[in-house]
């Protein structure tokens, strides 16, 4: 079992932590995409892949206050947000009252098989322990239609650190797991995805961040 890998414990800690920081988190990150042109380029590439593959609804899983969801809507994607934190959902609905946001967990997505035209997990896998990643990615694959794109953003590195405060100095208790792009690619391959583009970069999003664009492979006989 990895650090913080009891599912109930890390989910509860993550929910409680982001409930605590929701308002300050939203304020600090509100205009972050204005400072991250390469991230915007990947989001546009993702949106283009969604349209090319026939469109359909797109789930922003771990949407937080909804800034990525709203940006995807500006790109013409039928995006909605899902988050574990009621506090984050409340802020997202407040800031984007015309968009859809709902409570949910990436470890147990209540979405129909093959119902999504695309899926984004933008720096939301960073609190998922290693031994839960396969479960999450297989949920992602289950809900995506064949060929549907998956866009991941994550912190690059080798270590896991306990975050005890943040976003205005509020108390938190979440592990932040950094991963190498090669490891993320291997997990995606094992879960039935093919990686089409990847980038490692330094920006306002992360001192060293990774972006992977993958697509759901068709079922094999």
In percent, the amount of the chain with pLDDT more than 90 equals: 85
Both tokens of residue 190?
Answer: 């094992």
50-80 per-position pLDDT tens digit: 999 999 999 999 999 999 999 999 999 999 9
- Give the pLDDT of residue 37: 95
Q: How far apart are the first and last CA of the chain?
A: 33
Give the predicted TM-score (pTM) of the model.
0.93
Task: Give the domains, in start order, of the chain with CATH numbers.
Answer: 7-216 (3.40.50.150)
75-80's contacts with Cβ under 8 Å and 24+ in sequence apart are: 75/43, 75/44, 75/47, 76/47, 76/51, 77/47, 77/50, 77/51, 77/118, 78/117, 79/120
DSSP assignment of the chain equals --TT--HHHHHHHHHHHHHHHHHHHHHHHTTGGGG-HHHHHHHHHHHHHHHHTT--EEEEET-TTSHHHHHHHHTT-EEEEEES-HHHHHHHHHH-TTS-EEE--TTS----TT-BSEEEEES-STTS-HHHHHHHHHHHHHHBPTT-EEEEEEEBSS-EEEEEEETTTEEEEEEEE-B-HHHHHHHHHHTTEEEEEEEEE-SSS-SSEEEEEEEEPPP--
Residue-wise pLDDT for 132-183, tens only, equals 999 999 999 999 999 999 999 999 999 999 988 777 778 889 899 999 999 9
Q: Specify the range with the lowest mean pLDDT, choosing from 10-24, 118-132, 166-180.
A: 166-180
pLDDT > 80? residue 3: no
């Amino acid at each position: 079992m990895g650090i913080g890998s009891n599912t109930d414990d890390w989910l509860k800690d993550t929910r409680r932590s982001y409930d605590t920081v929701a308002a300050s988190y939203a304020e600090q990150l509100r205009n972050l995409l204005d400072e991250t042109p390469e991230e915007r380029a990947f989001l546009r590439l993702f949106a283009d892949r969604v349209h090319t593959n026939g469109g359909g609804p797109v789930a922003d899983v771990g949407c937080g206050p909804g800034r990525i969801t709203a940006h995807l809507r500006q790109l013409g994607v039928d995006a909605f947000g899902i988050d574990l934190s009621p506090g984050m959902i409340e802020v997202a609905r407040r800031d984007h009252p015309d968009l859809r946001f709902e409570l949910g967990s990436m470890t147990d997505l209540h979405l129909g098989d093959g119902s999504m035209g695309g899926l984004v997990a933008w720096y939301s896998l960073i609190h998922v322990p290693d031994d839960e990643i396969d479960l999450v990615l297989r949920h992602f694959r289950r809900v995506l239609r064949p060929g549907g794109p998956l866009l991941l953003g994550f912190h690059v590195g080798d270590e896991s650190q306990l975050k005890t405060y943040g976003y205005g100095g509020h108390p938190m208790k979440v592990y932040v797991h950094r991963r190498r792009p090669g490891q993320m690619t291997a997990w995606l391959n094992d879960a039935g995805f093919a990686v089409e583009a990847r980038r490692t970069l330094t920006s306002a999003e992360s001192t060293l961040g990774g972006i992977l664009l993958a697509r759901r492979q068709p079922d094999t006989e």
